[in-house]
Structure 1
């Protein structure tokens, strides 16, 4: 089974992906990426209570690194040597998109349902647009400012569970963790824009996963040393192993490379627009698989957020 999966993934990352992709094929990959990432909230919720955030993130990228190394060897003949500049960029990718994002991500899922957590991803495209404007890479129009305000209003509806006068009462640790995850992903996207000018999507993703896994594994060993025991429960359950495997392959290897291709071909802002689909996928999968409730505030607020994001990134 693992050999079959590797063959399918290798076909997806054939050498032709180094060439400019047809628009339809690229959009299809970015859309599939959003759906795969929507599934990570369900898989991450399955790990909540079974593994702590550090162990979950380390397990996810331990599997992903092995797959990426084999894939890079098969597709590109191995990893290229890095210049000092490339070393700094890939390390930045690992720190933001692997280490900090995943620690915040898994921590949030221990506090909130998967569907509610997924809605916070709608902040990603707007945050990228704002940061790119602050850095002087893009100019913000009045339409974009209006879109950001609309999206923020929708987010407040979601966070407050429909009671806008009591926003602070509904903003807990889980919501704070997801804000940290959003900021981490913005950093990954912005840094990725520079990294993709110098490295292939597969090489950049592999190096980012390597640096991130090394940091996570070191931190896990350190915590095990001081606590005197490992964080994993005895006898890893089948559902936990399946969730880790999905997070590694369906949530990391395939979508990370495809997202990097999107950044390289479209730029950071336009690639980030496809993150609008992640909350929709996460909410629907949480409802179907985990039987999580769909509240009116979630549907209304999520719709307003997506409307604001679409207005911000229109054109």
Structure 2
């Protein structure tokens, strides 16, 4: 009698436990990325922004290398074709964005850094229109304007007129520049090679580490200074490096990729908007920062703007997909 092999049922193919909980996975991703802002604050006095960025990506690359090596070999032809874009993501979206974010935490409150980061989804929407001519509805544009005003309200500490005289805190200006870079990174992800998330993190963290070392050599204390800072770090410094190298750089990428796979990018991308929320809450809880009146006013504009923009985008998508 010949034994027949039954195909596995869909239930056995699905991940189990936490890896089958998309909302939890996506929330954890936003929490870990929000915590990156707090780590920048804790690094003050231990590492400068360039040193922290360099150590983050060197450690992340070394940690993921043995796990991603088999997929790197299998996907090498596709990686080689998209090497330029992978370098772009590592340099612009990983190293440059985080160096500016860590720099911003030296000059402004973590709450400000978190709330200005809320501009990223809106900047992506604006970039989609300006670069790729993706049309936006009137309601969508109202949402964009509200969110941008909310970010300006934070950056000018409740006095938007200060923008006329370019009287903006250096830290807030650095975070605005970081948000622009990450929006550009996000826009260009449409050219990402078709490779797995682990191979993507390995290759981009390699370029991130390489560019971070170059930044360290050009704008900070050089390689000797990096070695010196590493040797003299306190346990707190090592905890900060371990956190930024493992949780925001690797684990959050894994949980986000799995969450997106389970419920799709349209629904999953909404959780990105939780990053500034978690960043602000953690700043209050862990750093003892105070939410000022201008933060609350800005939050109303930012949340309303993002909500309107997301609603408009999804309504437009439903109309496109509606059977004729």
TM-score (norm 2): 0.80
Match of 1:81 among 68, 76, 82: 76
Residue aligning to 1:44: 40
Distance 1:215 1:182, change over 3 A: same
1:91 and 2:102 matched: no
8 Å contact 1:42–1:114 — kept in the other structure?
yes
Residue aligning to 1:205: 201
Deviation at 1:64, TM superposition (A): 0.9
Secondary structure of the 1:286 match is helix
Distance 1:260 1:191, change over 3 A: farther
Deviation at 1:178, TM superposition (A): 0.7
Match of 1:178 among 170, 175, 183: 175
Match of 1:107 among 85, 103, 108: 103
Q: Distance in 2 between matches of 1:226 and 1:53?
A: 13
Distance 1:77 1:214, change over 3 A: closer
Q: Distance in 2 between matches of 1:299 and 1:116?
A: 11
8 Å contact 1:108–1:177 — kept in the other structure?
yes
Residue aligning to 1:307: 304
8 Å contact 1:104–1:178 — kept in the other structure?
yes
TM-score (norm 1): 0.82
Moved more, 245-254 or 163-172: 163-172
Distance 1:266 1:183, change over 3 A: farther
Residue aligning to 1:289: 286
1:249 and 2:274 matched: no
8 Å contact 1:192–1:260 — kept in the other structure?
no
Residue aligning to 1:134: 130
Aligned-pair Cα RMSD in Å: 2.9
Deviations 1:42-83 (A, max 9, x none): 111111232111111011111111222133247x47562144
8 Å contact 2:50–2:220 — kept in the other structure?
no
Residue aligning to 1:119: 115
Q: Distance in 1 between matches of 2:170 and 2:267?
A: 31
Residue aligning to 1:158: 154
Deviation at 1:271, TM superposition (A): 5.3
For this pair of structures, how many residues does the alignment match? 293
1:143 and 2:136 matched: no
Residue aligning to 1:7: none
Distance 1:158 1:56, change over 3 A: same
